[in-house]
Structure 1
Amino acid sequence: MSACTVCLRDLYENELGHQACRPCADRADRDLSALAGTDGLYARLADSLHPGSGSSGPAVSGSREAPLPLRLDPLSLAARGGVVTILQTWLIDWHDLLGYRHPRWDGDLQQQLDQVVGRLRVLLPWAAEAHGAFDEFAREIASLVRQCQTATGGEKPPRRIGVSCHCGRTLKVTLDTAGVKCPDCSAQYGHSEALRLPLAERWAA
């Protein structure tokens, strides 16, 4: 093979015989990475489920019918059958071709998403070289990223960090946090007080 199946550009000499060029493989890796994690696109779908959230702006309707309690686009992406299931289907396919055992899924959908993304990224170099449908995979992942960006408004929310309450409970705050109350000891912290709390062990590490 002399051309990348994704972008159709000629492959470099050290890429000949591969399904995808290095830039297209790197792009697929970045797309996978963008979906995962507590600040990733998939996690942000949960904040975009209600009318008026995400990219659609305030929920305004000229009809007399009450709006749906949840926005369907982010819901369909976040629910089983959406992003997580699509990625799992690809990983099953890759495992079958490689002769590996069927992958196992543990935890809730966010945890499963992080697991499958991690495994796909490990196997990505092989897929970019040898998987006959890598172009389809790369385009589908890019499409999922675009759909998630659209559903979540395309803007990343302020990054949350963990700080330690005086009782030891980890509290999540951002630079925009107006205040936070500890659910364990009921201690209440204002904006400046919350930001002066020590970082929780995980974030400090």
Structure 2
Amino acid sequence: MNDIPTCIRCAYDLRDDETGRQLCGRCEDRAAQQLAAIPGPRGLYAQLAHHLQRGGSSGGPTVSGSKAAPAPLRLDILNLQTAGGPVLGPLEGWVRVWEEAGHAELNEAGTLQQRVDHACRTLRYNLRWFAEQGPAPDEFARELEAIHRTLTGVTGGQKPPRRITVTCPCEQPLRITLNVQALTCPKCRTEYGHSEVLRLPLANGRAAA
């Protein structure tokens, strides 16, 4: 039985300098990168505006004087831009959680872009505290990853890789994408190549490939 403390998110063993933490440094860095990619005038949230028109590709401004009917807007992207949508809603929800613990301050003033910017800056600034002792770190990292994946899927012009859960012979669930190149099981340390990991059984018992 492994008595070495592990990251609550990725289940990898914590290094000596990570003792007492909930999230390992790698998971903290990933969350910091995701929080840095969302805000700002060139961030993922702002880029949604370039993908509003259904069928549009340039993302540029509408040419004045055009006699053509405007393209219909994509309701899924409009939903991503709303105050209670799947981007700003969860981000400000976590700011509220951290505010209750005395490590953040919610600011609902300003435009939606300004609120997104404030939430991301606040969460990123206090990320080290959260990795060490914040509430529900696994849930936070999972929700943040889902937000980032949704935004990159839209702004990148393609759907994100399909994710599946396979099971190592040691019974450790492994969350992978179909284009995974290699993987090491955090529990038994077995190393898998691309074809090997895709041959592992799915968590629900079906064949993975």
RMSD over aligned Cα atoms: 2.2
Residue 38 of structure 1: how far off its partner (Å):
0.5
The residue identity in structure 1 corresponding to 2:5 is S
Cα distance change, pair 127–101 in 1 and its aligned pair in 2 (3 A) = closer
Encode CA deviations 1:107-166: one digit per residue, 9 max, x unaligned.
1000111111111111110001112311111111111111011122358xxxxxxxxxxx
Q: Is residue 52–residue 74 contact of structure 2 (8 Å, CA) maintained in 1?
A: yes
Shift of the 71–5 alpha-carbon distance from structure 1 to 2, 3 Å rule, reads same
Identity among equivalent pairs (%): 41
Q: Does 1:152 align with 2:164?
A: no
Aligned to 2:115: 112
Amino acid across the alignment from 2:50:
D
Q: Give distance in 1, aligned partners of 2:77 and 2:51.
A: 6
- The one-letter code of the counterpart of 2:145 is A
Q: Given residue 43 of structure 1, which amino acid in structure 2 is its aligned partner?
A: A
Partner of 2:126: helix, strand, or coil? Answer: helix
More helix, by proportion: 1
Instruction: Give the Cα–Cα distance (whole angstroms) in 2 for the partners of residues 45 and 18 of structure 1.
Output: 35
> Which runs of no fewer than 5 residues in structure 1 stay unpaired?
55-67, 156-205
Residue of structure 2 equivalent to 1:13: 16
1:165 corresponds to:
none
Contact 1:19 1:132 in 2 (8 A): no
Aligned counterparts of 2:49 and 2:109: Cα–Cα separation in 1: 20
Aligned to 1:73: 76
Instruction: Report the residue type matching 1:49 in the other structure.
Output: L
Give the equivalent residue in structure 2 for 1:93.
Answer: 97
Asked whether the 8 Å contact 1:20–1:134 carries over to 2, the reply is yes
Alignment equivalent of 2:29, drawn from 23, 26, 43? 26
Query: Measured at CA, do residues 137 and 107 of structure 1 come closer, stay the same or move farther in structure 2, by a change above 3 Å?
Result: same
The CA deviation at 1:102 is: 5.2
The structure with higher relative contact order (CA 8 Å, sep 6+) is 1
Asked if the contact 2:95–2:104 (Cα under 8 Å) also holds between the matched residues in 1, the reply is no
